[in-house]
Amino acid sequence: MTDVATLKKPESKSAGTATITDPIAVRPRSVARPLLYSALVLCALLTLLPFLWVISGSLRSLDEIRSDPGAWLPHHVTLDNFTRLFATEGFGRFLVNSIVVATIVVLGNIVAASAAGYALAKLDFAGKRIAFGAVMAALMVPFTAVFVPQFVITVDLGLADTLTGIALPAMALPLSVFIMRQYALSIPDELLEAARIDGAGEFRIFFRIFLPLAGPAVATVTIMSFLFSWNNFIWPLIVAQSTSSYTLPVGLAATSQAAAHVTDYGLMLAGAIVVMLPVLVLFLFLQRHFVRGIAGTGMR
Amino acid sequence: MTTVVPASPRKDRRSRGARRTAVAWLFLAPFTLVFLLYTAVPTVAALGFSLTDLRGMDLRHPFAVDLVGFDNYLRLFRDDSFLRDLLNTGLFVAVGVPLTMGIGLALALAVNSGIRRLRGVFRTVFFAPVVTNIVAVALIWQYAFHANGTVNEVFGAVGLAGPNWLDDPDLAMPVVILLGIWRNFGYAMVLFLAGLQAVPREVYEAAAIDGAGRWRQLRHITLPLLLPTTLVVTVLLTVFYLQVFDEPYLLTNGGPLGSTESVALYTYRQFGAGEFGVSSAASFVTLLLIGLVSVVQFRLLRPRT
């Protein structure tokens, strides 16, 4: 093996010694390692800059941002922006709307995805391929291509400008079905078969045997559908037509765009913190669900 | 426990199969309902709409809508702002995809190169932008990149006058693309990390015994074995970027002078103006582009064996 390799590589000067010395020990780790760490730390700091700016900016007073807009750190720390934010007309409403929509979406996904995922993984039936094809199609059809008819349908259903209209299309995300199906595939058939022989019906098996085992997948689905709903911007922007049905991101974007060039940055940054905090906190504690859910399927 | 009733076994099996199918579709009902309403019907309808003169006000009077053939498409390609938006979107893809992938790959290699300490921390930090709310991020970037913002503070510190990034037609697009990269490189990194972890350690050990250095290992083992991952990441990022909406809408609203307006933003504006037919035609162009680019990328990057 080694001989063949050295023959193939006449350009390697000390092919003979390389076979004797431990190749791993030869490497100049002592230099490369700190260099690697410094590069990574630098990249990490650059990535985190916007987070530093939003924290420091949201803690600066209106006057301070006006007189010295570019300062990286507050001269005096104040929570004034947050107090003003929660006193702002409509803000509480946006927050409640976002929470209501996210709750409907999460519950819908748990029900729809666990049932569909279970059927796709564990039941034999006519049209199974078509059903799985539908999940894949739903994963792939780009939102940009379909939002106009989606809106028309929402209007026809009488759901324009309602929270239900905002939540409905996201209540059975293909990503959730996919996660559930993958998880259900990992549950041994024998377990379900045993119950079937004992005479248990499919619904009983689903509720009594599958669901209690599906905890981890339910957790991933909960987190992914919450993330989707909470961060979704363009669909609520299209459906919500009056401020009474704005979600938090839509309300925040509308407020800042209405203000155009006289933006009250402190207030906006405080709003930004409130919007991003729930997801970031979840992410810090439940990272593996995010990575599994996002990297596993190619969807955000 | 076979039944004593003299029913033909075939018929019995068939009726049990029908029952099973009915039960399965009952399980699938909620998903199927949402799928039909919000994916299947809209996909067909989008094509239909694009061939009509449907307008927002027609929703109450569906019979006032006429078929107009390919007029909407002709109108699109005679519209200078649509052509400009196509170019902008192309620029976003051409610059954004390679940079996002390059950064993602480099960081995946670095994080995967045997460091033990802080590894989880790095992964968390680089992935955080992916899950951060885009409206919040865009507000932060507006604060940072405005004429007297935190970014220009750095320029000021070294005695330079920083530009007015978001109001300059030449500089706004780079900032919008940078936001796209910042938001997506962690996603590319995680996919590359998954790809790297699938490479068996023995391959590297064998190469090291054969005297292959780090660089040779990277070129001749890691990168070729990552080709399938690279293909997936390329296609996914291209599909994201071809539909780019949030970044330009929130950061610059397509301005200044339309220099950052994307096709998706054009589609949204036509929709907002009540031009549902034109808007659907524009979405269909996006859909065709996505399909075309994906097929080409699969052809080009498919492992040649």
Among chain A residues, the shortest Cα distance to B129 is held by: A47
Q: Is the pLDDT of residue A27 over 60?
A: no
Q: Which of residues 214-243 of B touch A (CB under 8 A)?
A: 214, 232, 236, 239-240, 242-243
Average of per-residue pLDDT values in chain B: 87
Find where tokens 């363009």 sit.
A234
CB B68 within 8 A of CB B51: yes
Tell me the percentage of chain B whose pLDDT exceeds 70: 92
pLDDT at B56: 78
Q: What is the ipTM of this complex?
A: 0.85
Q: Give the percent of chain A with pLDDT over 90.
A: 47
Q: How confident is the model at residue A29 (pLDDT cuts 50, 70, 90)?
A: low
Pick from A57, A148, A203: which is nearest to B276 by CB? Answer: A148
CA distance B213 to A27: 8
Taking 80 as the threshold, does the pLDDT of residue A154 lie above it? yes
pLDDT grade, residue B197 (50/70/90)? Answer: confident
Per-residue exposure over A29-66, b if at least 16 CB sit within 10 Å of its own CB, e if not: eeeeeeebeeebeebbeebeebbebbebbbbbbeebbe
Smallest CA–CA distance, residue A122 to chain B, in Å, is 9
Q: Which residue has the tokens 């950061």?
A: B251
**For residue A116, what pLDDT band results from cuts at 50, 70 and 90?**
very high
pLDDT of residue B183: 95
Yes or no, beta carbons of B46 and A151 under 8 Å apart: no
Q: Which residues in A lie closer than 8 A to residue B148 (C-beta atoms)?
A: 69-70
CA A140 to chain centre: 17
Q: What angle do CA A250, B86, B301 make, to 5 degrees?
A: 100
| Closest CB to A70 among B152, B191, B253 | B152
Minimum-distance CB partner of B139 among A152, A174, A268: A268
> Any chain A CB within 8 A of the CB of B99?
no
Residue A262 Cα to chain centre, angstroms: 32
Residue spans per domain, chain A: 24-84, 89-295
| Whether residue A24 has pLDDT greater than 70 | no
Write down the pLDDT at residue A163: 96
CATH top-level class for A89-295?
Answer: mainly alpha
Q: How far off is chain B from A97, nearest CA to CA, in Å?
A: 16
Angle at B77 between CA B74 and CA B80, to 5 degrees: 135
Residues of A in contact with B243 (CB under 8 A): 142-144
Query: pLDDT, tens digit, for every residue of B247-273?
Result: 999 999 888 899 999 999 999 999 999
For residues B11-32, one letter each, b for 16 or more C-beta atoms within 10 angstroms of the residue's C-beta and e for the rest, the string is eeeeeeeeeebebbbebbebbb
Measured between beta carbons, which residues in chain A are less than 8 angstroms from residue B245? 144, 234
Mean pLDDT in chain A?
A: 84
- At residue B191, what are phi and psi to the nearest 5 degrees? -65, -40
Record: contact A53-B143, CB cut-off 8 A: yes
Which residues are CB-contacts of A94 (< 8 A; sequence separation ≥ 6)?
A: A246, A247, A248, A250, A251, A252
Per-residue model confidence (pLDDT) at position B203: 81
Split at pLDDT 50, 70, 90, the class of B73 is very high
Interchain proximity B128–A47, CB inside 8 Å? yes
pLDDT score of A34: 84
Q: Is A62 on the interface with B (CB under 8 A)?
A: no
Residue A18 has pLDDT above 50, yes or no: no
pLDDT of B211 over the 90 cut: no
* pLDDT score of A267 more than 60: yes
Residue A15 has pLDDT above 90, yes or no: no
Range with top average pLDDT, A124-133, A285-294, B158-167 = A124-133
Search chain B and give the residue with CA nearest A181: B28
- Give yes or no for B258 touching A (CB within 8 A): no
Residues 51-70 of B with CB under 8 A from A: 59
Lookup result for tokens 């004429």: B147
Closest CA–CA distance from residue B246 to any residue of chain A (Å) = 8
> What confidence category does residue B84 fall into, taking pLDDT thresholds of 50, 70 and 90?
very high
CA distance A104 to A124: 30
**Site of tokens 């003169």:** B53
Q: What is the DSSP string of A179-242?
A: HHHHHHHTS-HHHHHHHHHTT--HHHHIIIIIHHH-HHHHHHHHHHHHHHHHH--HHHHHH--S
Nearest to A137 among B39, B140, B286 (CB): B39
The length of chain A, given as a count of residues: 300
DSSP string, chain B: ----S---HHHHHHHHHHHHHHHHHHHHHHHHHHHIIIIIHHHHHHHHHHTB---GGGGG-GGG--B-TTHHHHHHHH-HHHHHHHHHHHHHHHHHHHHHHHHHHHHHHHHTSS--TTHHHHHHHHHHHHHS-HHHHHHHHHHHHSTTSHHHHHHHHTT-----GGG-TTTHHHHHHHHHHHHHHHHHHHHHHHHHHTS-HHHHHHHHHTT--HHHHIIIIIHHHTHHHHHHHHHHHHHHHHT--HHHHHHTTT-STTTT--HHHHHHHHHHTT-HHHHHHHHHHHHHHHHHHHHHHHHHHS---
Least confident range of A106-115, B5-14, B138-147:
B5-14
Structure confidence at residue B162 (pLDDT)? 83
Cβ atoms A135, A120 nearer than 8 A: yes
